[in-house]
Amino acid sequence: MSHRTYKTTILSTALLLGSLPVMANVANGDFEQWSGNTPDSWSTIDSGIALSPSTSVVNSGSRSAAINVNTGSQSNTDLLQQVNVEAGQTYNFSADVYHTEGKIKARLYVDGYQGYSNEAQTNQWQTISHSYTASSSKTINVGLRFYDVSGFDGSEIVYVDNFLPNTSIISPPPTSSCSTNTLTLTLKTDNYGSETSWVINNSQGSAIANGNGYSSNTQYNEQVCLTDGAYTLIVSDSYGDGMCCSAGDGSYTLIQEQVTLASGASFNNTESTAFELGDSTGDPGDGSGGGTTPNPTPTGYYVTTQGLTGYTLKTELYNIIKDHNAQGYSAIWNFYDSSARDKYFENDNSILDMYSEKPNGTDSYNYTAVSDQCGTYNSEADCYNREHSFPKSWFGGTVEPMNSDVHHIYATDGYVNSKRSNYPFGEVASASFTSTNGSKVGSAASSLNYSGTVFEPIDEFKGDFARAYFYMATRYENVIGNWQNITTSSNAVLNGSSNQVFESWVVAMLLNWHNSDPVSQMELDRNQAAFEFQGNRNPYIDHPEFVEMIW
């Protein structure tokens, strides 16, 4: 599925329910039209930046603007154009930004300097926005300014796309050309249409379609073409009073072939609805399953997190998942018997061992559930045991409920588990031990900003372990700040706080693993099984976007 964002305001079929204010339109905001290396309609391009069209890093349409910032002098880094606004009207301006090295930040300019992008979020799209109310009818400057931060080496590329509201709006393909699922989102805005926005995220938390910048008291029909899979529609109101009823009679409805997938009107900041299209069949071999989908998250499980971000969101997640029903350490064997089988790679019903599984080839050995439990071991392939991915020595040993929390305890080869010991997860520069599937123990790579011995799982499972660590930081928020000095390794990983929890080098690595290895069908299934086993969920599997919202 292309990550193209469809934004279709079909004014020709809009039902005008009141007076329509003048729209403040950014010309060529999608950067589709160029004259050489100059984007049409952008009147100010300072000498400290150099632009070119890009077709490789794109968030909307077929092109974006690749902006090479080559100076630390901020007054020479503006990208602007003039836009007409009407007195008393409110306009939502936004731009999508993609950082590459993280040493440049972008600042939105709307008749003055507004919010910044987060330069630490590299190799992914993010949106910066500002709601602007015109004090008079006039022409204003709209665009971006770029700022260097510590570590800037004199040249860095930032990609920009989808500057809204945009006159050159991208139309979706007609219904007849959509070979999968055509959906229609009908929006009826209230007296403050500019406060309304929406996004459809896929199961990895990436935005597939979105819209904003709406007029008041107007009906819109937004069409989106989606492949089979699991999605979440999030409708937001920036003021926090929904679309109904104190400020008008607004509502939304998402429909596929006369079937209503989501609808609403009265909410506060946001309202989220999960839905599935087709059979959501995964591709065996990437851990995404072979045709099954997990049971849905219980209705309202995360409802109290709406509108929250940062460590406030993390604390609310703690309140949701704390006090789970610990089943005891011995019960984990039964959990593995029922819920740790290989239905994703060889699909042979053997125990899925993340320290020996070869995603793209034949495993060197396989374990039969129950009969191959450890036991003693002298080498690989002897038996499987219960691996605390977050070592139990870090929280003081066989202490409950941490010692039996299946969200971080995996079936793994006993010998490889012993080699892992209680070393931090990391990326290895020079390996002293390598398992049959490529998991490694050795000295840490210099890029980690940590010197010591680390254990590196294979790429296929790095995101799984990262999300398990974010779970531990959240589920045990009330006690984890006391674990830092229990062992040398816990001191290397934990920073003694209950909010960030991890040292900065660990956070950076886990974020990279989380983004590079998205949630798989295997994780979704395991999360549901853990919920049925002990009564709580890993929020970062259900909502991967929570990771970036917190850390």
Q: DSSP string of 239-278?
A: TSS-SEETTEE-EEEEEETTEEEEEE---SSEEEEEEEET
- The answer to whether residues 228 and 179 touch, using CB atoms and an 8 Å cutoff, is no
Looking at residues 32-41, what average pLDDT do you find?
Answer: 88
What pLDDT score does 115 carry?
85
Task: Report pLDDT digits (tens) over 118-130.
Answer: 998 888 889 998 8
- Residue written as tokens 């779970």? 471
Looking at residues 89-100, what average pLDDT do you find?
Answer: 88
Task: Report pLDDT digits (tens) over 247-304.
Answer: 888 889 898 877 888 888 888 877 888 888 875 433 334 454 433 444 567 778 888 8
What pLDDT score does 179 carry?
63
Quote the tokens at residue 35: 């004259």
What pLDDT score does 239 carry?
83
**Cβ atoms < 10 Å from Cβ of 82:** 14
What pLDDT score does 18 carry?
36
Looking at residues 229-234, what average pLDDT do you find?
Answer: 86
> What domains sit in the chain, N to C, each tagged with a CATH number?
24-164 (2.60.120.260), 175-280 (2.60.40), 310-550 (no CATH)
pLDDT band at 397 (very low <50, low <70, confident <90, very high): very high
Q: How many Å apart are CA 26 and CA 90, to the nearest integer? A: 15
- The answer to whether residues 451 and 432 touch, using CB atoms and an 8 Å cutoff, is no
In this predicted structure, the answer to whether residue 6 has a pLDDT above a threshold of 80 is no
pLDDT band at 421 (very low <50, low <70, confident <90, very high): very high
Looking at residues 334-350, what average pLDDT do you find?
Answer: 93
Looking at residues 62-81, what average pLDDT do you find?
Answer: 88
Beta bridge partners of 251: 188
- The answer to whether residues 91 and 213 touch, using CB atoms and an 8 Å cutoff, is yes
The candidate with the shortest Cα–Cα distance to 321, out of 307, 339, 301, is 301
Q: Which of 66-80, 206-220, 336-350, 474-488 has the highest mean pLDDT?
A: 474-488
Looking at residues 138-145, what average pLDDT do you find?
Answer: 90
pLDDT band at 139 (very low <50, low <70, confident <90, very high): confident
Looking at residues 219-241, what average pLDDT do you find?
Answer: 85
In this predicted structure, the answer to whether residue 9 has a pLDDT above a threshold of 80 is no
Looking at residues 439-453, what average pLDDT do you find?
Answer: 95
Average pLDDT value for the chain: 86
Q: How many Å apart are CA 340 and CA 351, to the nearest integer? A: 6
DSSP labels for 302-359?
A: TGGGTT--HHHHHHHHHHHH-S-----GGGHHHHHHHH-B--SSS-S-SB--TTT--T
